[in-house]
Amino acid sequence: MAIVSSRKPVWITLGAALVFHALLISVQTNHRFDTGLIRSWLLDIQAPFEQLAERGVGATGGVWNGYFALVGLHTENQKLHSEIDRLKMELAKRQEESEEVKRLRGLAGLQDPGIGKTIVARVIGRDPAQQHLTLTIDKGRSQGVKPDSAVMTPDGIVGRVIYVSNFYAVVQLILDTQSSVGAIVQSTRRQAILNGNGGRELDLDFIDDDNDIKEGDKFVTSGQDRIYPKGLPVGTIISIGPRRGMFKTVRIRPQADFERIEEVICVIDRPQSPDVPETFGPPWQP
């Protein structure tokens, strides 16, 4: 009897639950909840965040793409600069070759029978300890260069060879204090001797008569020093001062530009003129 009474609350509870569930289903079936307002609220709240996130992603993507675009432009810019530099170097090289051709053509103009057999040489060194009073060329005994070979440019004489090896030679410039050149005043044909003064000019050491010389007069080689062929440009008188001893103080600017010499021409076989005397005036010492 006690067992039956203990089971009644369970069945009663179960029945009540079933009835409540049925009623709840019935209410949900007959009356649907309106969720439109809730969805509207959620959309208003969520959409700005989605928009902000979308803008952030778009901006990040734009910056990223812009970065790669800039990297590409930088690389292309470097290539263009490299190409421009290469073209500039090529142009400079072509211009230098053109200038060298002009200089060599000028040197070739000196190669005539009156001068003798010649050879073109490049200047490869200077002696800074002596203020450029000597220079070294890339031709030597193997090419026919020998001591006392005359060296010149199309502008004028440069000097004479004083030392020769098999493939190189040292040239003493006419500016050297130990250098002398037999010359003639081109307009009056006065015989003269010009000496280097160790600077950029020449001094008049001897002349037949200095009364009629004037600034602007030009000297050419006389050929009587047995080194330089006759008629080559030497220099121009730039100043005439008072007498110093027997002669006036005369300064001559050389025709050759010693600061810009790159190529020279050497006389390696000069024809001898039997009618030229050995000396004139005072004894000449090279």
Average pLDDT over residues 1-12: 53
Distance CA 132, CA 183 (A): 23
For residue 157, what are the β-bridge partners? 152
Confidence of residue 13 (pLDDT cuts 50, 70, 90): low
Q: Dmax over Cα atoms in the chain, in whole Å?
A: 174
Does 229 have pLDDT greater than 60? yes
Overall pTM surpassing 0.85 (yes/no): no
Query: What domains can you pick out in the chain, each with its CATH number?
Result: 117-269 (2.40.10.340)
- In DSSP notation, 83-114 reads HHHHHHHHHHHHHHHHHHHHHHHHHHTT-STT
**C-alpha dist (Å) from residue 86 to 75, 83, 98, 157:** 17, 5, 18, 39
Sign of CA dihedral 112, 115, 121, 122: negative
Closest alpha carbon to 139 in 108, 118, 154, 153: 118
Distance CA 108, CA 7 (A): 138
Does 157 have pLDDT greater than 90? yes
Q: What is the pLDDT of residue 205?
A: 93
Confidence of residue 1 (pLDDT cuts 50, 70, 90): very low
Q: What is the pLDDT of residues 29-85, one digit of tens each?
A: 454 545 555 556 555 565 565 666 556 555 565 555 665 566 667 777 777 766 776
Q: What is the pLDDT of residue 235?
A: 95
Query: What is the distance between the terminal CA atoms of the chain, rounded to a whole angstrom?
Result: 161
Is 147 within 8 Å of 162 (Cβ atoms)?
Answer: yes
Q: What is the pLDDT of residues 199-222, one digit of tens each?
A: 899 999 999 888 899 999 999 999
Confidence of residue 136 (pLDDT cuts 50, 70, 90): very high
Q: What is the pLDDT of residue 84?
A: 75
Structure tokens given for 192: 């003269």
Average pLDDT over residues 18-23: 58
Q: What is the pLDDT of residue 182?
A: 95
Does 280 have pLDDT greater than 70? no
Q: Taking CA 240 as the corner, what is the angle to CA 238 and CA 245, rounded to the nearest 5 degrees?
A: 140
Q: What is the pLDDT of residue 164?
A: 95
What is the percentage of the chain residues whose pLDDT exceeds 90? 39
